Amino acid sequence: MSLSFFVNNLHFAVELMGAVIFLMASWLTFDSYSVRKDRATLTRAIGFGLYALWQVLYAMSGGSDILSYASFFVFLIALVLLLTSFFKQERLQATAIIVLPTFAAWNGSLRTASMLLLIMIAYYSYQRSKQEFNDTWKPFYLAFMTLGIGSFFGIFAANQASFFFVLELLFEFGAFVLLARWVWQFLQLRIRESLILVFISAALFLSTIITLAFSTILISQITSETEESLLTNARVLDLHIAGLKEQSVAKVTLVSRDPILPQAIMKNDFAALGTLAEQYMEIYHLGFLTITDKQGNVLARAHALSRRGDSLAGERALEEAILGTAFVTVEESSVEKFSIRAGAPVVQNGKIVGTVIGGYPLDNPLVDNIKRITGLEMFIYQKNIPVAATALAEDGRTRMIGTPLSSQDIATTVLDRGNSVTTREDLSGQPFFASYLPLSNGDGKIVGMISAAKPEQDILDISNATSRLTLITVVLIMLVLTYPIYVFTKRLTTES
């Protein structure tokens, strides 16, 4: 199991732990309000309750933008209520006006605002402790100061696998331990509440353990199956390219045997050559078709009629065709770029008078067709640079092409040794599981790679969905059992 999956499960467990502790704090504060009708106490109780709700939403948000926005909105309201509970009532409105507009800034500004609110809560609770000479506030203000520090590191967290995210998670855990100590001070004085909250805590704790165990097993199985599927589907692309190679060499050989073609080449009849090239490219469904003289000078391009006169000298398909051999390879051309290129000689009276070069570009439409079959992201690499990809970059518009593969191990294994490999890799800053196979030219030399990939977030989404379903089931069971437990504890405390 990768670090991302481990951190994802740890994040879920820590957030649920925080939800339980803030739920306890809310319960006890509401109980205090029932004895002492104080608006500040009620405000604090609601703040604790909303904070608990935020922890649950945050744990279950996964990659959902809507749930993330909703959870942060609840979080800000909770912090505002907790902060204003330390002020006089007339200051509530002014504080809310200052904080709420920062919600539109979303990530960086929003996290900064929440960090400041957490530190302010810690400061004012510290002031309350000094004013009342009450040391019971110490774990409280230390907890919120620790949450503030953790939130500061969260500003720099790029993703769940980053060092700053793990650091934020560790500070959150420490803060929850401190807050649990603060809650325990008051819990010891209330037997009935203790029994109820112990039941709730135990139920949530068991649900967390069960959820983590189940999701870990599920993720391990899904990861294993994904790796096998990726390699299989990478071979699907490899077989498709192999089929296109065979088609290319067969089709250009047929075109080269047209009896009209040699005469048109000898006469430099560009109009006739252009018409023939267009007809044959359409008949044989080729990606491109080029006709040259025996020196390799372009006489006609069916896919770009205005571009002629340049030379294909140096291309392997042309070199072999001029020598009289039909040949197919994978190489780069100035017009068709990285492509499958087949060449065949055009012969008249036993002499080679020109060549026909045709094939298929290794481009985005090609990998798009394979994705429709496999459902996976497909890539074609020229050396270690992707030249065709179905996956989109973080902006959601541009393809993940042009950026060299960062892993030297993959390049060494596939390009140098000619072996296949399946691994986790960051592509354009996004984590993927991917399989890589070598791509060879007609001489057997490795000139690139083909790859099938699956975003790691897809697997995390399955894990998060499983965790949410388990948590919802446990909460429903708890709601059914809450009333019987309440009646039991009430009778127990009355008899005692």
- The count of other CB atoms within 10 Å of the CB of residue 256 is 24
**Bigger pLDDT: 20 or 50?**
50
Structure tokens at 274: 């252009």
- Cα distances from 83 to residues 22, 94, 120, 392, in angstroms, run 15, 12, 7, 43
**Residue pointed to by tokens 């935020």:** 54
- The CATH superfamily of 223-244+364-458 is PAS domain (3.30.450.20)
Whether 416 contacts 408, CB under 8 Å: no
Judged by average pLDDT, the poorest of 12-16, 107-111, 254-258, 321-325 is 107-111
Give the C-alpha separation, 442 to 359, whole Å. 13
Q: What pLDDT score does 117 carry?
A: 87
Phi, psi of 364 (to 5 degrees): -60, -45
Q: Span 322-342, mean pLDDT?
A: 93
Q: Which residue is listed with tokens 């649990």?
A: 180
Reported confidence tier of residue 4, pLDDT bands at 50, 70, 90: low
pLDDT of residue 18: 80
Tokens 């899904």 sit at which residue? Answer: 222
Instruction: Report residue 201's pLDDT band, with 50, 70 and 90 as the boundaries.
Output: low
Q: In the sheet where 337-348 sits, what is the strand order?
A: 298-301, 288-293, 351-361, 337-348, 327-333
User: In this structure, which amino acid lies at residue 129?
Assistant: S
Amino acid letter, 380: I
Whether the model clears a pTM of 0.85, i.e. scores above it, the answer is no
Integer CA distances (angstroms), 270 to 301, 483, 496, in order: 10, 90, 107
Q: Among all chains, which residue has been given the structure tokens 């339980």?
A: 20
**482 band by pLDDT with thresholds 50, 70 and 90:** low
Pick from 54-63, 208-217, 416-425 the range whose average pLDDT is largest: 416-425
In the 3-class helix/strand/coil scheme, how is the chain assigned residue by residue?
A: CCHHHHHHHHHHHHHHHHHHHHHHHHHHHHHHHHHCCCHHHHHHHHHHHHHHHHHHHHHHCCCCHHHHHHHHHHHHHHHHHHHHCCCCHHHHHHHHHHHHHHHHHCHHHHHHHHHHHHHHHHHHHHHHHHHHCCHHHHHHHHHHHHHHHHHHHHCCCCCCCCHHHHHHHHHHHHHHHHHHHHHHHHHCCCHHHHHHHHHHHHHHHHHHHHHHHHHHHHHHHHHHHHHHHHHHHHHHHHHHHHHHHHHHHHHHHHHHCCCHHHHHHHCCCHHHHHHHHHHHHHHHCCCEEEEEECCCEEEEECCCCCCCCCECCCCHHHHHHHCCCCEEEEEEECCCEEEEEEEEEEEECCEEEEEEEEEEECCHHHHHHHHHHHCCEEEEEECCEEEEECCECCCCCCECCCCCCCCHHHHHHHHHCCCCEEEEEEECCEEEEEEEEEEECCCCCEEEEEEEEEEHHHHHHHHHHHHHHHHHHHHHHHHHHHHHHHHHHHHHHHHC
More confident residue, 435 or 465: 435
- Across the chain, mean pLDDT equals 82
R_g (Cα) of the chain, nearest Å: 34
196/26 Cα distance (integer angstroms): 13
Please tell me the predicted confidence (pLDDT) of residue 167.
86
The reported pLDDT for the residue numbered 389 is 94
CA distances (Å), 134 to each of 175, 364, 447, in order?
20, 68, 73
- Report residue 390: phi and psi, to 5°: -95, -25
| pLDDT at res. 217 | 76
pLDDT of residue 100: 35
Distance CA 363, CA 379 (A): 9
CATH architecture of 246-361: 2-Layer Sandwich (3.30)
pLDDT (mean) for 200-212: 69
pLDDT digits over 293-327, tens only?
Answer: 999 999 999 977 777 888 999 999 999 999 999 99
pLDDT confidence bin for 133, thresholds 50/70/90:
confident
Question: Could you tell me which of 67, 18, 72, 3 has the C-alpha nearest to residue 208?
Answer: 18
Q: Is pLDDT at 74 greater than 50 in this prediction?
A: yes
* Other Cβ atoms within 10 Å of 185 Cβ, number: 13
Nearest alpha-carbon partner for 290 in 281, 301, 280: 301
Confidence of residue 103 (pLDDT cuts 50, 70, 90): very low
pLDDT digits (tens, 9 = 90+) for 159-194: 666 778 888 888 988 888 888 888 777 665 555 556
Supply 102's token pair: 């920062």
* pLDDT of 92: 38
The residue behind tokens 């690499």 is 381
pLDDT for 446 equals 95
245 or 108: which leads in pLDDT: 245
